Structure 1
Amino acid sequence: MRSPKVKNKYNLTMKKINKLKVGDESKIKEPLFWRNNVINAWCINRIIGTDDDVKYGTDNDIWIGIYDKPYYNRRIHVRCSCYGGMCFYKFDKFFRYEDIEYENDLKTQEELLRIINHLIDERILVMENGREKS
């Protein structure tokens, strides 16, 4: 496995990401987010992989949703999937060798971390304890 290209500057895990809170509501808008009125949430999503990965169902994806009101007791939901969306891609700690089977898995972790780092940098999301850096 190659070295990750994104730094985990907030020492995040998926458990910590799932405990993030909404910070600056005024920044939750286009073009960073897109609106899904069916579920009443602002969303960010990314497809990870090549056109051939999409064609053959070997792509991964990331979806982040910030709901208007709590959904299952929280407003922020994050999920990653693999095999063209057929399976969840689950991990807790970033960049552990045993959680990365394919290059797209590493790229998924890097892109998720890049997006979450940016949302924390912009104070759109905040850590549960109110501090950004651990």
Structure 2
Amino acid sequence: MPEHGRDKVGPVRDEEMAKELDGELRAARSTRAEEEHELQPSGEDQPEADRVPEPAPEDRELRSELARHLERGIYPADRDAVVATLRRHHAPDRLVELARRLPAGRYENVQALVDALVSGGGDRRADG
């Protein structure tokens, strides 16, 4: 179970957490032996809770790579701010090209950038 507090979650911890949950996500059911650790079902007046699917490996890799070159202080950021920050941090040309193809709008975090790129905002096959 993920711990909260002073620990920062980064790409390495993301990988660890994904490995911890891998069996449960693949089984599409709980694999915990102790009942108190089970997810509770939604109440009658609440929407059904969905498990968030694990991002594809290439999406995790893209998120990690973008995060290495972007600073937290730029968010919320628009396309121009993302491109400028990537250039300032000497990001690979491939990332700068991807960022140039982002749809106009404001992005709250790296995951929002990746979601926009994956959903068709950018051609991820760009080679720098």
Higher helix share: 2
**Bigger RCO of structures 1 and 2 (CA < 8 A, at least 6 apart):** 1
Query: Same fold, TM exceeding 0.5?
Result: no
Shorter-chain TM range is under 0.3
Tell me the TM-score normalized by structure 2: 0.25
Higher strand share: 1
Work out which of the two has the higher radius of gyration on C-alpha atoms and give 1 or 2. 2
Tell me the TM-score normalized by structure 1: 0.24
